[in-house]
Amino acid sequence: AVQIAEEIKRKTPPNALFLNAPTYNSAVVLSGRRSLMRYSGHLSSYGIDYEPRENEVKRIYEGSGLAAGLLKKNAIEYVLISPEETSNLRVDPAYFERFTKIAEAGAYRVYKVN
């Protein structure tokens, strides 16, 4: 995760918005970049209704018919696919191959989607 976090820092602007699995240890967190949704456990502890956004995250990673519209709606610029995403979500890697891969390290890939 540290290696891809360094790549993210090097290849994306500081205010870039990422889509990543809502886990507490994402490489996006290590990079200091913004994330559409962070760890749901933290959000729920503050009483934040995170389920609608979590459902959108899932639909995007699935590559559903709603994915393109949700990427645009949420102004997502980059998508991280890593072991956290593939372990916690249903990810359709073929959907993301249409986008430019800007970084890769081991099982980690970053796509520019906007």
pLDDT in tens, 38-57: 766 666 677 777 688 899 99
Predicted pLDDT of residue 53: 85
SS3 77: coil
If you search the block for the tokens 């249409």, which residue do you land on? Answer: 98
> What is the predicted pLDDT for the residue at 42?
60
Per-residue model confidence as pLDDT tens digits over 45-101? 777 776 888 999 999 999 999 999 999 999 999 999 999 999 999 999 999 999 999
| Residue-level pLDDT at 50 | 66
pTM, rounded to two decimals: 0.92
Query: Could you tell me the two tokens for 104?
Result: 């890769």
